[in-house]
């Protein structure tokens, strides 16, 4: 049975059975490898046999499963090399190398194939034409920035990343402070945290229903338009009129992310030293002054985590725009436009949009890496 | 979070993750009850504000939930708040939506697909990530810090960067410098593509979070096990994994929510018969955007599993947290 046979056999099973079989098969492979790795670095005839078996069995298993000499040769070289090094270094009491490789290899293999190589390919592809065959320099980028639609996509993305983190964090923080140590705090938290478990597609449908428009002569079925009518206003096409429709989409992400901000900030507020707050109270500081000069500085790391996480989520927002307007009516953002170009077979433009997205994420992560470094230095 | 990390928030650098993991695991006011007496809200306006926020945050979901049980003609002609004047309940919308769908599969089948996609895409990356995290935390080697920062930095890469080349890798096989390393996934690739993709994209964050938690295990415990003759594998399975359970549980819930709620990866990798429910819902929204009886019920079918997992595991989290706090 080769890998292809195995996957074809699995493919004939019902979907959930497939899932379970794959997980079990994976767990067995991991267990066997870890077992061999575990017994290998010790001394004694039995362990030597295990090592020998590993040197022979692993490449054979690979050849049998993948029907690939390259893989088998590669694995044999790696396994043999590791054992050589292991034997060599274990004399100095450093018999850990094989374990290190076994523990790390799956993650590194997947990260290389799944993230590192593709990102490089995307970067290169952003300088190629739509078929990916000829080099056209910066044309894809010029195309994006050379037309009002492209600029609007970038501007919209920047609006998202400015508004969503700010509003979610402020509302989440206020809510966390208000409900801190009140009766029914748990229920309050769950109500606001619940949208986190709802998919963006689901959230998109929920809010399209809130914004639903009927002509003034009909009964409204969308709550927001009904409220407008109750107050004597005209029903509005919330999702059709730029630039406000972008903000009505932004409301959805704020609705989802506020719960996240609230839970993290709330836990961090509970960690603020009571003595500090009491001391401030004795000094005559009122509630707002205590909040500003004691609570906020103490929860600063948590605020950074929350702002970063939500900023990155807003940069990559895709599902909400896709399900609510599909990027029409001037609401498109980078992630959505990237998918649109990809489905139009414009690989180069799609790649260029992905690279712009990458460039926008970099400063946020660099800032965070610096923060981590600072914290490590303090320790 | 949701997307983790949101999720949509899957890849998120978190500068103080042990803290945030704990924050998530706390969920309710666990710490609040410890040592401090509860008091009523002293400020009436704060109380009013929090009630208003709670109501604003709940009403949209409530409205959709009520609508999903109203008869079709009532949904389309009157607002869901009219339900309280004229309560009439039907399960028909759910029956309809489960049997509707695209030419290739029904909503019910896509619901099963979602389960089939989510189980391996949650468990496999956690196994791989916990092994790598263990190596980073407890095996000392040259270049460890550099490699770890590299993994952290991989979170910079938005998955949008990797999607298209990865798709061609799946369909053509991996080809390195003219050498065919793997065969294409081919016809069997329906779910396999999605599993692989989710596993790869989950790794940087999962390794980072689990490493932070694992490296906090007191080294005396591990040294003691060493002295007793435990091997690396035994230490990993018997000591490190059990002590890391709270972190594994919270990473698992985030990964589960992220995979279940994902649309982008599904659109690119899950074609035809393997499409999860989010993809089908997005299609229905595009083509039948005014069939509110289908959309409301469909949305709830897709929401119900993450909500169950979310609430069920919250309790488990609290227990895991208590176990973690007694370890010293």
Say if residues A294 and A280 touch (Cβ distance below 8 Å). yes
pLDDT in tens, B285-302: 877 777 888 888 888 888
Say if residues A85 and A104 touch (Cβ distance below 8 Å). no
Do residue B166 and residue A257 have CB atoms under 8 angstroms apart? no
Do residue A263 and residue B27 have CB atoms under 8 angstroms apart? yes
Q: Could you give the percent of chain B with pLDDT greater than 70? A: 76
Say if residues B109 and B101 touch (Cβ distance below 8 Å). yes
**Residues B178-185: what's their mean pLDDT?**
55
- In angstroms, the CA A183 to CA A227 distance is 31
Do residue A355 and residue B161 have CB atoms under 8 angstroms apart? yes
What local confidence, expressed as pLDDT, does residue A88 receive? 61
Do residue B31 and residue A66 have CB atoms under 8 angstroms apart? no
Do residue A4 and residue B149 have CB atoms under 8 angstroms apart? no
- In angstroms, the CA A286 to CA A280 distance is 8
Do residue A16 and residue B9 have CB atoms under 8 angstroms apart? no
**Terminal-to-terminal C-alpha distance of chain B:** 29
Within 8 A of A266 by CB-CB distance, chain B residues are: 23, 29
**Residues B98-110: what's their mean pLDDT?**
80
Whole-model pTM? Answer: 0.82
DSSP state of B16: T
pLDDT in tens, B201-210: 889 888 888 8
- In angstroms, the CA A129 to CA A341 distance is 12
The residues in A 129-188 lying below 8 A from B, measured between CB atoms, are 171, 174-175, 177-183, 185-186, 188
What local confidence, expressed as pLDDT, does residue B38 receive? 40
The pair of three-digit structure tokens given for residue B199, joined into one six-digit string: 């596993």
What local confidence, expressed as pLDDT, does residue B206 receive? 86
Within 8 A of B124 by CB-CB distance, chain A residues are: 22-23, 26
Q: How far is A238 from chain B (nearest CA, A)?
A: 15
Q: How far is B263 from chain A (nearest CA, A)?
A: 6
What local confidence, expressed as pLDDT, does residue B182 receive? 58
Q: Does A339 touch chain B (CB under 8 A)?
A: yes
Listed as ranges, residues in chain A with pLDDT below 70 are 1-4, 39-44, 51, 64-68, 82-98, 132, 372-373, 375-379
pLDDT in tens, B64-85: 888 888 888 877 777 788 777 7
B295 → chain A, closest CA residue: A205
Q: How far is B95 from chain A (nearest CA, A)?
A: 18
- In angstroms, the CA B27 to CA A190 distance is 8
pLDDT in tens, B37-64: 344 445 778 888 888 999 999 999 888 8
Q: How far is A117 from chain B (nearest CA, A)?
A: 8
Whether complex ipTM tops 0.90: no
For residue B31, pLDDT over 90 is answered with no
pLDDT in tens, B231-253: 778 888 888 888 888 788 888 88
What local confidence, expressed as pLDDT, does residue A68 receive? 67
DSSP state of A326: T
Q: Does A233 touch chain B (CB under 8 A)?
A: no
What local confidence, expressed as pLDDT, does residue B1 receive? 34
- In angstroms, the CA A249 to CA A322 distance is 11
Do residue A19 and residue B120 have CB atoms under 8 angstroms apart? yes
- In angstroms, the CA A206 to CA A228 distance is 19
What is the number of residues in chain A? 379
A with B: how many residue pairs have Cβ under 8 Å apart?
447
Distance of CA B200 to the CA centre of its chain: 14
- The distance between the two most distant Cα atoms of chain A, rounded to a whole number of Å, is 90
Q: Which helix (H) or strand (E) holds B179?
A: strand B179-180
**Residues B19-24: what's their mean pLDDT?**
42
Question: How would residue B321 be classed by pLDDT, with cut points 50, 70 and 90?
Answer: very low
3-class SS string, B108-124: HHHHHHHHHHHHHHHHH
What local confidence, expressed as pLDDT, does residue A168 receive? 94
What local confidence, expressed as pLDDT, does residue B178 receive? 52
Task: Supply the Cα-derived Rg of chain B in whole angstroms.
Answer: 23
Within 8 A of B32 by CB-CB distance, chain A residues are: 180-181, 185, 270
Do residue B23 and residue A266 have CB atoms under 8 angstroms apart? yes
What local confidence, expressed as pLDDT, does residue B152 receive? 78
For residue B317, pLDDT over 60 is answered with no
What local confidence, expressed as pLDDT, does residue A84 receive? 67
Say if residues B164 and B267 touch (Cβ distance below 8 Å). no
Kindly report the average pLDDT of chain B as a whole number. Answer: 75
**Residues B188-200: what's their mean pLDDT?**
79
Q: How far is A220 from chain B (nearest CA, A)?
A: 6
What local confidence, expressed as pLDDT, does residue A234 receive? 81
B interface test, pick of A39, A115, A304 with most B CB neighbours within 10 Å: A115
């Amino acid at each position: 049975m080769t890998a292809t046979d195995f996957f074809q056999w699995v493919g004939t099973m019902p979907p959930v059975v497939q899932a379970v079989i794959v997980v079990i098969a994976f767990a067995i492979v991991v267990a066997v490898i870890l077992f061999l790795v575990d017994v290998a670095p010790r001394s004694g005839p039995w362990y030597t046999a295990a090592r020998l078996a590993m040197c022979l069995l692993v490449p054979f298993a690979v050849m049998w499963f993948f029907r690939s000499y390259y893989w088998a040769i590669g694995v044999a070289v790696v396994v043999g090399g590791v054992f050589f090094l292991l034997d060599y270094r274990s004399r100095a009491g450093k018999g850990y190398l094989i374990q290190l490789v076994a523990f790390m290899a799956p993650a590194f293999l997947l990260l290389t194939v799944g993230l590192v190589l593709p990102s490089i390919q995307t970067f290169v592809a952003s300088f190629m034409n739509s078929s990916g065959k000829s080099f056209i320099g910066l044309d894809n980028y010029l195309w994006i920035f050379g037309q009002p639609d492209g600029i609007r996509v970038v501007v919209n993305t920047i609006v998202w990343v400015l508004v969503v983190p700010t509003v979610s964090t402020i509302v989440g923080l206020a809510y966390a402070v208000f409900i801190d140590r009140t009766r029914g705090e748990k229920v309050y938290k769950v109500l606001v945290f619940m949208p986190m478990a709802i998919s963006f597609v689901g959230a998109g449908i929920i809010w399209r229903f809130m914004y639903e428009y009927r002509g003034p002569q009909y009964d409204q079925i969308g709550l927001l338009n009904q409220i407008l009518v109750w107050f004597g206003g005209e029903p509005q096409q919330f999702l059709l009129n730029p630039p406000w429709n972008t903000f009505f989409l932004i409301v959805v992400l704020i609705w989802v992310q506020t719960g996240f901000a609230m839970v993290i900030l709330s836990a961090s507020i509970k960690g603020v030293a009571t003595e500090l707050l009491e001391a401030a109270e004795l000094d005559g500081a009122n509630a707002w002054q205590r909040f500003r000069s004691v609570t906020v500085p103490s929860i600063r790391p948590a605020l950074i985590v929350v702002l970063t996480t939500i900023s990155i989520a807003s940069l990559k927002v895709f599902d909400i725009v896709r399900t609510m307007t599909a990027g029409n009516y001037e609401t498109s953002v980078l992630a959505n436009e990237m998918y649109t170009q990809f489905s139009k077979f414009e690989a180069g433009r799609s790649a260029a949009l992905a690279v712009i997205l990458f460039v926008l994420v970099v400063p946020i992560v660099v800032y965070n890496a610096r923060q981590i470094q600072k914290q490590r230095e303090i320790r | 979070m949701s997307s983790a990390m949101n999720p949509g928030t899957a890849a998120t650098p978190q500068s103080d993750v042990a803290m945030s993991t704990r924050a998530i695991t706390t969920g309710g006011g666990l710490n609040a009850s410890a040592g401090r007496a509860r008091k009523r809200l002293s400020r009436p306006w704060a109380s009013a504000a929090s009630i208003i926020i709670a109501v604003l945050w709940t009403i949209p979901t409530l409205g959709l939930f009520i609508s999903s049980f109203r008869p079709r003609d009532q949904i389309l002609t009157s607002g869901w708040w009219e339900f309280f004047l004229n309560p009439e309940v039907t399960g028909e919308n759910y029956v309809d939506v489960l049997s509707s769908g695209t030419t290739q599969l029904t909503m019910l089948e896509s619901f099963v697909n979602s389960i089939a996609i989510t189980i391996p895409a949650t468990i496999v990356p956690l196994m791989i990530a916990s092994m790598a995290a263990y190596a980073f935390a407890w095996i000392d080697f040259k270049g460890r810090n550099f490699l770890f920062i590299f993994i952290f930095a991989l979170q910079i890469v938005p998955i949008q960067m990797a999607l298209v080349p990865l798709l061609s890798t799946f369909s053509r096989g991996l080809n390195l410098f003219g050498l065919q390393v793997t065969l294409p996934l081919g016809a069997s690739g329906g779910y396999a593509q999605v599993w692989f993709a989710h596993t790869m994209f989950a790794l940087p964050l999962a390794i980072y979070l689990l490493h932070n938690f694992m490296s906090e295990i007191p080294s005396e415990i591990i040294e003691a096990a060493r002295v007793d003759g435990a091997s690396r594998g035994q230490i990993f399975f018997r000591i490190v994994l059990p002590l890391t359970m709270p972190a594994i549980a919270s990473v698992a819930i985030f990964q589960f929510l992220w995979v279940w709620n994902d649309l982008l990866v599904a659109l690119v990798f899950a074609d035809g018969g393997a499409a999860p429910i989010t993809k089908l819902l997005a299609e229905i929204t595009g083509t039948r955007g005014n069939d509110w009886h289908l959309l409301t019920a469909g949305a709830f079918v897709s929401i119900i599993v993450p909500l169950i997992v979310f609430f069920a595991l919250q309790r488990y989290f609290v227990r895991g947290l208590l176990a973690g706090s007694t370890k010293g």
